[in-house]
Amino acid sequence: MKVNFSRLFGKPLKTTDLAHQAVSNPIGLAVFASDALSSTAYATEEILLILSMAAGAAWAGQGGAVFGLSLPVALAIAALLVVVTLSYRQTIHAYPGGGGAYIVARDNLGELPAQIAGAALMTDYILTVAVSISSGVAQITSAFPALLPYRVELAVGVIIFMTVVNLRGVKESGRVFAVPTYFFLVTMFLMLGVGFVRYLTGALPTAVDVDALRHTTLEPLTVFLVLRAFSSGCTALTGIEAISNGITAFREPRSRNAALTLSWMSGILVTLFLGITFLANQIHALPSETETVISQLARTIYGAESLFYLLTLAGTTLILLMAANTSYADFPRLGALLARDGFLPRQLTYRGNRLVFDWGITLLAVLAALLVVVLDARTSALIPLYAIGVFLSFTLSQSGMVRRMYRIGKLRPGEVRQGLETALTYDPVWRRQMIISAVGAVCTGIVMVVFAVTKFTSGAWFVVVLIPLIVAVFAQIHHHYKHVAQNLSLNGTRPELRVHPVQTIILVDDVHTETVELINFAKSLGHPWKAVHVAINPEKAERTCAKWQERIGEGELIVLESPYRYLVAPIQEYVSVLQREQPGCFVHIIMGQLVMDTLWEQSLHQNSAMIFDRAFSRIDNVAVTTVPYQIHRVE
């Protein structure tokens, strides 16, 4: 059975198709903003979830006051967002070719910080898929509670669908991506607008009938708890770095357009996040396993029967799926960067025959699906694993920028120094820029520590252990490639090419038309040759000898005894005998291989060629030739 892969995965794409058609700023916003904007779907909810531990589930009495804390927490997060945005604008100008955390860290801080950034980003791309799809499915089950028991199946189904789509290669990115992003923005701003109008006119009701989470043991409202709520809300910042990775997609002047788009994106993000948090407070939204805060908000504002309610949830779901989809592009691209630098298997640099990195996509999908299954597609269970990696990469990237500005400050005016990726030129504003990046690095670094500490027992420990492990694997792989490169290096010399004597042996199992082909090839090479038969079955060996005399009658057929019925060992021994007889010679082993049309037919044959290949590859100065012999099916 032949599977038509090109029907499933689409036609192959040319390398030259890679050159992006540059996109306008609104399209660029749509393409790169989905990850960042989508986090508004869960960030507020995660703040409320932590605060609910102190508030219980009721809005009566003190509960309301505790939930009211969500607003100052959100404001602090918004302030952090502004700092990070300012810092990343600088990165965009410094790295017009694309300034992801891995590249900036490698360029300014060295190999180890780059590896750490790489490991952090890889874990977070996986988590972006898991979190976004889980949250997307939660929006769907909010609207259709009957689907709740199937959320894991739904989430895995979406992952599989997305994987197939991405293995096909998404050529039509830009315009197609714009539709869901702007659909989301329209529905979201409409909901916030209607909500505010109803709030101002005093017509905003409170959410009812929420199956709220009830905590059996209430925790006291400590600074620790508020910090936990803050770090949960910081997931709003995830994805903000996307534009700095994709600068090359923008029109010239690229850096300016990208930076402008980043500012727009941050502005929209802050507005949405604060708006949602404020209104959630007003309607007394409660974190719940069965209904998302966005759903509660839309339901309260529009009413559950309203079409706008469903449209709002549809928009939210779409943007979440788009966010997951960005990881499908970023993860393989990062894998390829790491592979190019020898930290991951070289195979990851191979673009398949599609303009995508098949390997990376498959790996991402498998790991994300695993997380979804293990953590039951619950967003709140995934959040503690998330964001540590993001903030670690923020910190490393901005520290790299600090280092860069410092080095620029050391230059004389007009001096240029070549870095790994970009040239450094003196810039009088280096000190101001260094301070901005330093503030950003310190803030995100503190958030990362807060996150790791406050979420440690609820899942963050896993990532704290995982990232060093990944770095250790990177180091192992790097060490191996260095070793191989040393072994293969010609050390800049011109090697001496040498002719060696060649001893040719033909492996003969039986005497038939395939054997004739083998002998024809050996004769065509023009070297003296010997045929060799391994006598696994002594009677068969005798028959083969007789047939050889009768049918071939040329050359010598040597029978190698094999009392233990080993197939390979007698040949290995014979090869070493030949090599001792004529030191420095090549032993050229020629063997046949029956080739069938289908896999099942092939599986009915010994396929000894593969066994031999592996075994003989361990001997020095051997060359192994297989002469394929086709046997076609009669249809």
Closest C-alpha among 460, 181, 129, 143 to residue 315:
181
Residue 43 CA to residue 349 CA, distance in Å, equals 35
Nearer to a second copy, 498 or 580 (CB): 498
Nearer to a second copy, 61 or 538 (CB): 538
> What is the contact mask toward a second copy in residues 300 to 339, using x (rule: CB under 8 A)?
----------------------------------------
Nearer to a second copy, 413 or 526 (CB): 526
Q: Could you say which residues in the range 548-577 bind a second copy, by CB under 8 A?
A: 550-554, 563-566
Which secondary-structure segment (H or E) carries 592? strand 586-596
Other Cβ atoms less than 10 A from the Cβ of 290: the count is 14
Least distance from a second copy to the Cβ atom of residue 117, Å: 22
Length in residues, the chain: 635
Closest C-alpha among 168, 101, 46 to residue 441:
101
For residue 616, state whether it binds a second copy (rule: CB under 8 A): yes
Do 123 and 389 meet the contact criterion of CB atoms below 8 Å apart?
A: yes
48: Cβ contacts below 8 Å, ≥ 6 apart:
67, 70, 280, 285, 286, 287, 293
Nearer to a second copy, 269 or 609 (CB): 609
Least distance from a second copy to the Cβ atom of residue 531, Å: 12
Size of the site for a second copy (CB under 8 A): 84
User: CA distances (Å), 485 to each of 465, 479, 488, in order?
Assistant: 31, 10, 5
Nearer to a second copy, 449 or 473 (CB): 473
Give the chain's end-to-end CA distance (angstroms, integer).
Answer: 14
Instruction: Detail the DSSP E strand segments found in 395-518.
Output: 416-418, 423-425, 502-507
Residue 213 CA to residue 232 CA, distance in Å, equals 17
Least distance from a second copy to the Cβ atom of residue 346, Å: 6
Least distance from a second copy to the Cβ atom of residue 344, Å: 9
Count of CA atoms in the C-beta half-sphere (13 A) of 47? 32
Classify strands 586-596 and 502-507 as parallel, antiparallel or unpaired. parallel
Nearer to a second copy, 432 or 500 (CB): 500
Q: Could you say which residues in the range 99-128 bind a second copy, by CB under 8 A?
A: none
Binding span for a second copy by CB under 8 A among 138-146, 260-268, 402-410, 545-553 = 545-553
Q: Could you say which residues in the range 513-532 bind a second copy, by CB under 8 A?
A: 513-514, 516, 519-521, 523-527
Binding span for a second copy by CB under 8 A among 20-28, 170-178, 193-201, 610-618 = 610-618
Do 122 and 470 meet the contact criterion of CB atoms below 8 Å apart?
A: yes
> What is the contact mask toward a second copy in residues 465 to 504, using x (rule: CB under 8 A)?
------------x--xx-xx--xxxx--xxx-xxxxxx--
Nearer to a second copy, 442 or 585 (CB): 585
Least distance from a second copy to the Cβ atom of residue 614, Å: 9
What is the DSSP-derived secondary structure letter of residue 212?
A: B
For residue 545, state whether it binds a second copy (rule: CB under 8 A): no
For residue 536, state whether it binds a second copy (rule: CB under 8 A): yes
Least distance from a second copy to the Cβ atom of residue 171, Å: 14
User: CA distances (Å), 605 to each of 534, 599, 601, 602, 610, in order?
Assistant: 17, 10, 7, 6, 11
Other Cβ atoms less than 10 A from the Cβ of 85: the count is 21
Among 203, 223, 416, 634, binds a second copy (CB under 8 A): 634
Nearer to a second copy, 418 or 617 (CB): 617
Residue 75 CA to residue 95 CA, distance in Å, equals 30
Binding span for a second copy by CB under 8 A among 49-57, 148-156, 319-327, 619-627 = 619-627
Least distance from a second copy to the Cβ atom of residue 186, Å: 40
Nearer to a second copy, 432 or 483 (CB): 483
Nearer to a second copy, 208 or 525 (CB): 525
3-state secondary structure of 575: helix
User: CA distances (Å), 343 to each of 95, 327, 339, 550, 600, in order?
Assistant: 22, 20, 5, 59, 38
Q: Could you say which residues in the range 1-60 bind a second copy, by CB under 8 A?
A: 12-16
Other Cβ atoms less than 10 A from the Cβ of 472: the count is 12
Least distance from a second copy to the Cβ atom of residue 289, Å: 33
Nearer to a second copy, 25 or 602 (CB): 602
Which secondary-structure segment (H or E) carries 187? helix 173-200
Residues 165/171/172/174 CA torsion (nearest 10 deg): 110
Nearer to a second copy, 208 or 610 (CB): 610
> What is the contact mask toward a second copy in residues 158 to 197, using x (rule: CB under 8 A)?
----------------------------------------
Q: Could you say which residues in the range 129-148 bind a second copy, by CB under 8 A?
A: none
Residue pointed to by tokens 């779901």: 317
Q: Could you say which residues in the range 578-607 bind a second copy, by CB under 8 A?
A: 586, 588, 590, 593-595, 601, 603-606
Nearer to a second copy, 249 or 609 (CB): 609
Q: Could you say which residues in the range 338-397 bind a second copy, by CB under 8 A?
A: 345-347, 350-353
Count of CA atoms in the C-beta half-sphere (13 A) of 448? 19
